[in-house]
Structure 1
Amino acid sequence: MIIVGLTGGIGSGKTTVANMFEELQIPVYIADNEAKLLMNRSKVIRRKLIALFGDEAYILKELNKPFIASKIFSNKAYLEKMNAIVHPKVASHFKRWFKKQTSPYIIKEAAIIFEQNKDSQYDYIITVIANKEERINRVLKRDNTSRKKIEAILKNQLSDKEKIKRSDFVIINNNLEETKNQVLKLHKKLLRLHN
């Protein structure tokens, strides 16, 4: 079974593209969603995050996302330490999930494949891109955040140019119909590659 990584910067539309693959009956694993679930469910992760960030890390046993976000975006060391706690758990969860799949290929959506030098874990990598203004507007609509915070996140992420260089496929996600066509073409290509 082929493991296809799906990545892209904030607001590029990774989840939209992932949903399109799901509509084609392809199993999709969204690493960020699983990480959030594990951060709330796992007692081990909770204990370690409280040790790292203090008691404010959780409110009524739920992850205090705004507090954590403010910590990790102003301090890269915090982000790295948090990733070192959460990512191994997500990786073993993914392995268990993967063993249950039976389709020709699966999609694993992860925002920081290249930033973490995890390219070798995938057979192919798709990068989703969109123009910067479009991305900022999407995130402003989606999240309760400011333009300044989004631009800070964009600065922290690898550039599209760099991601494209290291990817096998690129999906340009500025127009939904065109994106759907690109996903369909790529789906057929991946099925051929599997055979």
Structure 2
Amino acid sequence: MKIVGLTGGIGSGKTTVAKMFSELGVPTYIADDEAKALINRSKVIKRKLINLFGDQAYLGNTYNKTFIAQAIFNDKSLLKAMNSIVHPKVASHFIKWKEKQQSDYVLKESAILFEHGGDKDCDFTILVTAPEAVRIQRVVDRDQRSKDQVQAIINNQLPDAVKIKKASFVIENTDMEATKNQVFKVHKKLVKASKVS
């Protein structure tokens, strides 16, 4: 069974594209959602995050997202330390999940696939792209953030030009019907490639 990594910068529509693959019957693992669930569920992660950030990391048994977000926004070394706690757990959780699936390939959606070398664990990778102006507007509409806030996030992510060179497939997500067609074509190629090897 092949592992296909799906990624894209903020506002590219990678979640929409992941859903399209899921509707074609492809088992889909959303790494960000699973990370959030594990942060709340895993006693090991909880203990390590409290050691790193202090007792304010959790309010009772619930992860204190606002407090952590402010802490890591001001200190990149804290973000790196947090990722070193959470990412290995998500990676091992994904392997267990994958073993239960029955399909030619599985999709692993991750916002930071290339940034953290997750692409090395994939047989193929798909990058979802859209023009920067479109991406900014989508996030402004969706999250009620300012354009400057969204631009700051984009500036912190690996540029599309770099990711395009690393990706096996690129899906341009500007028109819903056109995106569906691209997803279907990529899906057919992936099924074929999975059966060949």
Counterpart-to-counterpart distance in 1, 2:153 and 2:73 = 7
Counterpart-to-counterpart distance in 1, 2:51 and 2:137 = 36
Q: How much does 1:133 deviate?
A: 1.6
Is 88-97 or 112-121 further displaced after alignment? 112-121
User: Aligned residue for 1:82?
Assistant: 82
Q: How much does 1:144 deviate?
A: 4.5
User: Aligned residue for 1:73?
Assistant: 73
Q: How much does 1:38 deviate?
A: 0.3
Normalised TM-score (structure 1): 0.95
Q: How much does 1:145 deviate?
A: 3.2
Counterpart-to-counterpart distance in 2, 1:161 and 1:192 = 28
Is 160-169 or 136-145 further displaced after alignment? 136-145
- Structure 1 residues 74, 154: CA separation in 2 closer, same or farther (over 3 Å shift)? farther
Counterpart-to-counterpart distance in 1, 2:41 and 2:94 = 16
What is the one-letter code of the residue matched to 2:88?
A: P
- Structure 1 residues 148, 70: CA separation in 2 closer, same or farther (over 3 Å shift)? farther
Contact 1:73–1:153 (CA under 8 A) maintained in structure 2 = no
Contact 1:31–1:110 (CA under 8 A) maintained in structure 2 = yes
Counterpart-to-counterpart distance in 2, 1:30 and 1:96 = 14
User: Aligned residue for 2:5?
Assistant: 5
Normalised TM-score (structure 2): 0.94
User: Aligned residue for 1:108?
Assistant: 108
Contact 1:56–1:67 (CA under 8 A) maintained in structure 2 = yes
In the alignment, is residue 130 of structure 1 matched against residue 141 of structure 2?
no
Q: Which runs of 5+ in 1 are unaligned?
A: none
Counterpart-to-counterpart distance in 2, 1:66 and 1:151 = 20
What is the one-letter code of the residue matched to 2:135?
A: R
Counterpart-to-counterpart distance in 2, 1:148 and 1:115 = 22
In the alignment, is residue 170 of structure 1 matched against residue 176 of structure 2?
no
Alpha-carbon displacement from aligned partner over 1:77-107 (angstroms, at most 9, x marks no partner): 1111010000011011001000001100110
Contact 1:126–1:168 (CA under 8 A) maintained in structure 2 = yes
Is 133-142 or 185-194 further displaced after alignment? 133-142
In the alignment, is residue 34 of structure 1 matched against residue 34 of structure 2?
yes
Alpha-carbon displacement from aligned partner over 1:33-83 (angstroms, at most 9, x marks no partner): 000000011111111112212222222321122222222233211111010
Percent of pairs with identical residues: 58
Q: Secondary structure at the match of 1:9?
A: coil
Is 37-46 or 58-67 further displaced after alignment? 58-67
Counterpart-to-counterpart distance in 2, 1:150 and 1:72 = 17
Counterpart-to-counterpart distance in 2, 1:73 and 1:128 = 25
Q: How much does 1:182 deviate?
A: 0.4
Q: How many residue pairs align between the two structures? A: 195
What is the one-letter code of the residue matched to 1:129?
A: T
